[in-house]
Structure 1
Amino acid sequence: MLAAERRDLLVARLRRDGKLVAKELAAELGLSEDSIRRDLRELAALGLCQRVYGGAVPASPALGDYAARAQVEPGSKRAVAARAVDLVRPGGVVILDGGTTTLAVARALPQTLECTVVTHSPTVAVELLTHPGVEVLLIGGRLFKHSAVTCGAAAAEAAAAVSADVFLLGVTGVHPDAGLTTGDADEAAMKRALAARAAETYVLASAEKLGAASPYAVLPLEDVAGVVTDGREHAVATELAARGVPVLAGGGSRV
């Protein structure tokens, strides 16, 4: 089998199975694991997969710039937001992460809601200007323009003073094996710092993030209270539920 044919096979298998295991592929194709790993490196360089220990998983499509990501699965994000607002209790304190899905959550919050929102996202803070009963605490720091959030030492130090009921976490990848991932190391560290300040963390998982992964780990799935999806049937959501991860689907149901 030619190298190009082998790479086509790997891409097709990745789409079908949601992951590639180098050792298994090497045995099946009669090749060395080094040959398979070389193929995976080339596919990763083309943005066709995300390499993980022992193989590869689908690369997240949610790594484009902020404007581009706003156009990806907008309906799914609105459905996730509609379910996630139920997690924000009147009089409570919620941390809203940055990103286009959490922005959808801010837009979906009832105008009559009274609560406190802590965020490191200027776009989320501005969206809440029209919510008279929402007290907004904006965490400052170095602005990471890709996701329109603040990161760095100053932001992490400010986060350490926060105590919240719930954190609504945005990521770019939710994978049963790779866990919760994002595309920047500093942003991943900031997400962990915020998660440590909340009693519960829920992951906002619009359709393009399910089954995908990015380079930097945020949290293992066992560290979150649940994953919020848009309610559509998805093999990854079903697998997460089978592994004991609570999945809250759009419409108020659980998978």
Structure 2
Amino acid sequence: MLSAQRKDHLRQILRRDGRVVAKDVAADLGVSEDSIRRDLRELADAGELVRVYGGALPIPPADRPVDQRASLATESKERVARRAVGLIPLNSTIVLDAGTTTLAMTRVLPHGADLTVITPSPTIALAVAEHSDARVVIIGGELSRFSMVASGPLAMEAVQHLAADLFFLGVTGIDPVHGLTTGNLDDAATKRAIAARCTQTYVLGSEEKIGATSRCPVLDLDAVSGLVVDPHDTSPVIGALAERVSVLR
């Protein structure tokens, strides 16, 4: 079987089963696992799937470009945002990551709290300035058109000169096994660097991210202070996550 035929077969399995197990496909087709892994790697490089240990998963909805995510799980994001804002103490410095849930947070930030907000996202910075009286500090760097967030060497250098009390981390995948993941390698590195400069890191877990896995690891679950989830989300995955990290509803 030619590589193009195997890839079509892999696409069909992914649509039908929601996952690909490399060893099973190799046995069914009578080819080596190396051939299947190579096909999966090429499909992942083309943005058609996410490679995981032993196979592949579909691209999660939360891993779409930011303009496509704006209308995804909006009510869940608003509930998570309100719960997250409740964690912010007076007179604190916080970092708001890029993303649609942090954007929802900007609309409910407290006034008169003597708050400083640091962000790598121009969109978040403008929203904070519009909806609150907080001081705004922007992390500079190359702007990713996919996520609309600053990253790269300039951003990494700026992060090393910052310190904050809380980091509200946005990721596109939150999974008990694969941890916290996102879709862009530079974004993942920037998120890790910011977390290292903050006293506490809280992950924002709206419903479309729970149980999803993206291709770039960010942090292990035990490296963060807590996971803020939608109180209406009854996914059994949250129970498994609660065994690894503090879950706040």
TM-score (norm 2): 0.84
For residues 199-214 of structure 1, what are the structure 2 equivalents within 5 Å?
Answer: 199-214=199-214
Deviation at 1:60, TM superposition (A): 1.4
Checking the alignment, whether the CA contact within 8 Å between 1:58 and 1:211 is kept in structure 2 is no
| Shift of residue 158, structure 1, vs aligned partner | 0.9
Counterpart AA for 1:215: R
Relative distance call for 1:247 and 1:49 in structure 2 (3 A) is: farther
Q: Tell me the amino acid that sits aligned with residue 81 of structure 1.
A: A
Measured in 2, the distance between the counterparts of 1:40 and 1:235 equals 29
Where does structure 1 differ by over 3 angstroms across 4 or more consecutive aligned residues?
3-14, 19-23, 25-33, 35-49, 130-133
Match of 2:74 in 1: 74
CA distance in 1, matches of 2:10, 2:84: 42
Give 1:1-255 correspondences, 5 Å limit: 11-14=15-18, 21-23=21-23, 25=24, 34=33, 37=37, 49-131=49-131, 133-231=133-231, 232-241=233-242, 243-249=243-249
Q: Is the 8 A contact 1:11 1:48 kept in 2?
A: no
Q: Distance in 2 between matches of 1:41 and 1:92?
A: 44
Distance in 2 of aligned mates of 1:192 and 1:42: 27
Deviations 1:138-163 (A, max 9, x none): 11111112212111111111111111
| Alpha-carbon distance between aligned partners in 1 of 2:32 and 2:104, rounded to the nearest angstrom | 43
User: Which amino acid in the other structure matches residue 235 of structure 2?
Assistant: H
CA contact (8 A) 1:112 1:131 kept: no
Structure 1 residues 5 and 178: CA distance shift in structure 2, 3 A: same
Q: How far apart, in 1, do the equivalents of 2:27 and 2:119 lie?
A: 49
1:202 match: secondary structure: strand
Shift of 1:37: 4.6
User: Quick one: distance in 1 between partners of 2:10 and 2:159?
Assistant: 47
- 2-side partners of 1:132 and 1:71: how far apart? 23
The Cα shift of 1:48 comes to 6.5
For the residue of structure 2 that corresponds to 1:78, the secondary structure is helix
Measured after TM superposition, the shift of residue 93 of structure 1 is: 0.9
2:3 corresponding residue in structure 1: none
* Contact 1:22-1:33 within 8 A present in 2 as well: no
Q: Alpha carbon RMSD of aligned pairs, Å? A: 2.7
**TM-score normalised by L of structure 1:** 0.82
1:160-210 CA deviation, whole Å, 9 max, x = no partner? 111111100001111122211111111111111101100111111111111
Q: Which deviates the most, 103-112 or 44-53?
A: 44-53
Describe the shift of the 1:130–1:43 C-alpha distance in structure 2 as closer, same or farther (beyond 3 A). Answer: closer
Q: Return closer, same or farther for 1:169/1:132 CA change in 2, 3 Å cut-off.
A: closer
Instruction: Tell me the SS of whatever aligns to 2:61.
Output: coil
Deviation, 1:114, is: 2.4
* Residues 144, 69 of structure 1: alpha-carbon distance in 2 compared, 3 angstrom cutoff: same
Structure 1 letter corresponding to 2:121: S
User: What runs of 5+ residues in structure 2 fail to find an aligned partner?
Assistant: 1-5
For the residue of structure 1 that corresponds to 2:62, the secondary structure is: coil
Instruction: Say if 2:10 and 2:20, in contact at 8 Å, map to a contact too.
Output: no
Aligned identity (percent) is 46
Does the Cα contact within 8 Å between 1:165 and 1:198 map onto a contact in 2?
A: yes
The residue type equivalent to 2:105 in the other structure is: V
SS in 1 for 2:154: helix
